[in-house]
A and B are shown apart, each in its own frame.
Chain A
Amino acid sequence: QITLKESGPTLVKPTQTLTLTCTFSGFSLSTTGVAVGWIRQPPGKALECLAVIYWNDDKRYSPSVESRLTISKDTPKDQVVLTMTNMDPVDSATYFCAHSDSGYFHDSFDFWGQGTTVTVSS
């Protein structure tokens, strides 16, 4: 079965760079049509899709934070990494990674990790 799990720091300081890793099993990111996305949710607020990476290494980013994001994949390790630079307290949120195979550049997410909570504070 498909599982995903996020890992990374729980606390980062303002201006620092956040690096999160999504480790998954039950599928391969080398399979045509497969993608992994990062979605975040500030406390009590709505979901925001930050970035998506595809089996062919194409990437898409949220326009609102694109300049601060990098998404990459390590296919042999079954991992996807998200980096976000210049962290600010407003970036405090639960960060989820999720699987998609709903269509190239049309991503609904059918399997999700449990999420990891990141707090930005000095």
Chain B
Amino acid sequence: DIQLTQSPSFLSASVGDRVTITCRASQGISSYLAWYQQKPGKAPKLLIYAASTLQSGVPSRFSGSGSGTEFTLTISSLQPEDFATYYCQQLEPFGQGTRLEIK
């Protein structure tokens, strides 16, 4: 079974910062990776699919890259509404999540 490991598990940052979250797969998964944002009490929201394709309606400050076993989600300039938990997902398994909080 493929395992996904996100790092860091917790991230503290300020509005305007550039942040990067990493997702590592236990074996190569080509570009079959998605990223989600989840806010408390809400369903996850798809941000990026196929490793780097921005879902319709998602702000361009979000970007994804990578292939094979290492992937990154980058937020170029944090906005107040971006403080949330982020998950990566291969076809089915999810990473454990990265909680992004305001410094």
Our verdict on whether A and B bind, yes or no, reads no
Binding site for A on B (CB under 8 A): none
